[in-house]
Amino acid sequence: MIVPDDLVDAFCGARVLMDRHPPNADQHVLAAFMAEGHLERHIRRVRNVYSDHRAQLIETLNALLPNDLAWLEPGDQGMHVVLWLAQGMDDRKVVELAARAGVAVRAVSPMFAPGTARPGLVLGFGGFSNAQMKAAAQRLAEVIIGVTKPLKRKHAALRKAATRSGPSR
């Protein structure tokens, strides 16, 4: 474990309380791995791989989903992107339906303070092949488009009822 110098004593104390026999061999192997530059090379290689995965996921979703339904929050770090959903969409319902379609995503709205929620999905792309991501993106897009059809019908019915009743006085 790597911690700031001023926290070493606290972490050592906690470690002693949890287990009196640290994995010394593992620690030495990891230290050698890092000292010989293997970790740095691994991070550089993986960063390029995930950058390509991110670009492919963004390109695929942009081709499948109209911007009035969903749009991606641009970012260039990590192994996740945020797909924002149009107002009125229930991201928790989308998560449920996506799971039924074999796609695991996470709703964004529960992460907001009460009364400030915004619908969206956290999409992870680490550990998947390009073919797996493309297939999952297709299924997710079908779910999102399917969720919006009842919303559009509801909005159309409300507009129709409003025009029939005329302007309010």
pLDDT at 169: 44
Look at residue 168 and tell me whether its pLDDT is greater than 70. Answer: no
Q: Structure tokens of 44?
A: 């550089």
Residues paired with 80 in a beta bridge: 124
Q: What is the tens place of the pLDDT at every residue in 31-66?
A: 999 999 999 999 888 888 888 889 999 999 999 999
Query: Which residue ranges form the domains of the chain, and what is each CATH number?
Result: 67-162 (3.90.1150.10)
| pTM for the structure as a whole | 0.69
Pairwise CA distance, residues 53 & 168, whole Å: 53
Q: What is the tens place of the pLDDT at every residue in 82-136?
A: 999 999 999 999 999 999 999 999 999 999 998 899 999 999 988 888 899 999 9
